[in-house]
Chains A and B, each alone.
Chain A
């Protein structure tokens, strides 16, 4: 295994790949694109000597590289759907707060638990949206409400989930 940079590449990947992948997903990448860009992120980092300044710094650096990889991929792709994030620094701060020091594992566990506090209608709407990938119109039809109502219902559900998660992690 080549190791010209003087650090454990496998360990770097193992410890950070989940965080990078989830970060790219949060930026809007589909799972397959997140796979590819995660690979490209680490390959780009491994091309140069790397000094470890700590887990948080490493994670931030990898996110920066990942974001650059995403922009490059979008430019190369031409007509590929452009994923735009207004104020990437603010998004990074939000992500840091969410991910913590475990790539978001604790928050996801809290999210699983908090889903149970939702009403059955709200949960069904989210399941149709994120599990079945149904359109907003389909969700509205299934629930017997307007599309605007479905949007509001899901928006409120997500707000409730955020509050529940924060409450659990206090």
Chain B
């Protein structure tokens, strides 16, 4: 063997072992290409009227390559408009290239775009990424259920109630007088509600009639009991009244009950059998509850402590104050979401135009509001879109365009800083779009194949006006209306609150809902979502139903009859026992490196070589059971891969040809909703180097980040 040849072969091996360039499975692609070629050959033979010949196929065009060699081409533009390119306006991610070629090829591509549009419709696929978008004059589909204020509608909250131009389809306004007309709620839900923004969609005609609290609680009990019967699971015994009282204090007030409070609760029991209900009502109206739940929501919205990536323009404390006031005044959750998404005003308390709600978006305004986009999707819609900022997501079905269409709603957002007055104002300004045509303000994003996609504001298939002029359309307000009117919003809200109270939601994780991750109890989730909407998005009502249900009062002890109910091992929860740690609830909010040292946990992975064989299931369960306060990382590390296999895209990511930094960044974004710090990147690269390119190293990093997230959520509760 010559040196040169041997070197060449070893180098190819090193590219595979170190570089991660593994051979793909091409069987399916080759067979499909072969079949297509055979069919074409047979057709050609029939047309020619000759006898079949094995050589007939040889003259046919070669099968399309697996990797098209086409040069990156900018997306087509509406043919009736000359594109003005202003590269200086564009961010890194959306910077288009080869514009001269684009101008020359625009006409040609327009034809291709029309064909693509036809194909997309033909196959019922969403049209819009590489294909031509409708021009400004084309009719734009609008949300049939969202309120459309007249052009001269005043800014909320100063405006008066409006009526929809199309009363049969639009949602009625939320003027105080109309809120009074909302059907009566359950027996305990008659507290006065504050006024809502006048153009916020309310009282969807699809909403069901509100049920009484007792009916909803009975439904929860029945559905969960049905699941226990189907799985032959005997629920854990109920806790005592003392334990229940302590649990309710922990979950609603964020602290343990004192001895006197427990005694008072027991005294109340002797007088009144509705003592549990009375305690819940008292706690729900307490300042402690408002503060505790504001902290929970703030953790979900921006992380457990101040966001390290944000500068001093963002105040978590101010956001907590805003949220606490919202809880205290029973502000409906749809109004809270609307205000957070459409907020404008000064961040500094004491300012004339101070608005604490602006802190949510201020925390994620950087990088073209990528973080705000993802958090909006995650918290208000229960969907993870962070992966789709870079590519389509095969497991969740989310397309890359979906992320950027949502992101387009935030492009009018602007931050004004006055250094002398130390004043930061979140406001909106006209968005001219990538090409400078404000009436048709688009944004571009880069596709994985190097081409460019184009996006306009679009939510769940509903487009709004393409104009970037604030006087034409206030994009964030339109988004807020669409979000709070969506079914996803209701489902995500219920799933999150349920998980706070039980320790597990109907999906795991709670912010990755969708067909790829079906809920454990879909009927219950949907019913609670409908009831939440019917009860005017009164989240305290939802808390009341859950806390007064029988499963909430079950012991957390695992019994031999309930061994199947083990969501911590990857199964779906049956809620036959109480899962939540007594010191708080779980959440999958972003993590702060001040709370958990992610890089330290990654370095620990390097020092902990994989064992030859995973622990036996019995030993695993025993260790988990005996050491409930064990480090989350250790618990996860104890699990065999079959229990924590990770998402389906992990192996593909591990074997992809992406550089290690990109792979690590991808995993961080997916799990922690942020990019790694330089220290964390170094630590993660150590893990990869230590495993010599073994694809399972990426999974180890993923598992470690998941563990850090759990540790962060726990520490955030303490």
Contact = CB atoms under 8 A, between A and B. Distances in A.
**Chains A and B belong together in one complex:** yes
Interface of A: 1-2, 4, 9-10, 13-14, 17-18, 21-22, 25-28, 31-36, 38-40, 42-43, 46-49, 85-87, 90-91, 93-95, 97-98, 104, 107-108, 111-112, 115-116, 126-127, 129-133, 155, 158, 161-162
Given A28-B8, A42-B30, 13 more contacts: A14-B27, A17-B23, A18-B23, A22-B23, A39-B66, A43-B37, A46-B34, A85-B5, A91-B5, A115-B692, A130-B15, A132-B659, A162-B6
Most B-side CB within 10 Å, residue of A9, A85, A127 = A127
B63 A133 contact: no
Given A39-B33, A94-B2, A130 B27 contact: no
Given A130-B11, A132-B660, A158-B10, A17 B58 contact: no
11 contacts: A13-B30, A17-B30, A22-B16, A26-B9, A39-B29, A39-B33, A48-B54, A91-B5, A111-B13, A112-B693, A158-B10
B17 A133 contact: no
B51 interface: no
B268 to A, nearest CB: 67
Contact of A22 (B12, B14, B26): B12
A38 B25 CA distance: 11
Nearest to A110: B13
Which secondary structure dominates where chain B touches chain A?
helix
Contacts of B150: none
B27 A2 contact: no
Contacts of B7: 155, 158
Given A25-B16, A39-B63, A94 B5 contact: yes
A97 B15 CA distance: 19
- Shortest Cβ-Cβ A-B pairs, 3 listed: A32-B67, A94-B5, A26-B12
Contact of B27 (A10, A28, A104, A158): A10
B188 interface: no
B26 A35 contact: yes
B329 interface: no
Interface in B632-656: none
Contact of B54 (A47, A108, A155): A47
Given A21-B23, A111-B17, A131-B19, A94 B6 contact: yes
Contacts of B17: 108, 111-112, 115, 130
Contact of B5 (A21, A36, A90): A90
Contacts of A25: 12, 15-16, 21
A40 to B, nearest CB: 7
A49 B55 CA distance: 11
Contact of A35 (B6, B35, B62, B67): B67
B1 interface: yes
B65 interface: yes
- Dominant SS among interface residues on chain A: helix
B31 A1 contact: yes
Contacts of B14: 111, 126, 129-130, 158, 161
Contacts of A21: 23-24, 26
A68 B5 CA distance: 19
Contacts of A107: 13
A83 to B, nearest CB: 10
Interface string B43-55: 0000000000010
B278 interface: no
B57 A39 contact: no
Nearest to A31: B21
Contacts of A43: 30, 33-34, 37, 62-63
Nearest to B656: A31
A94 B13 CA distance: 14
Contacts of B4: 86
Given A25-B16, A111-B14, A39 B58 contact: no
A29 to B, nearest CB: 9
B5 A112 contact: no
A108 B692 CA distance: 12
B591 to A, nearest CB: 28
B287 to A, nearest CB: 55
Contacts of B21: 25, 31
A18 B13 CA distance: 13
Contacts of A13: 26-27, 30-31
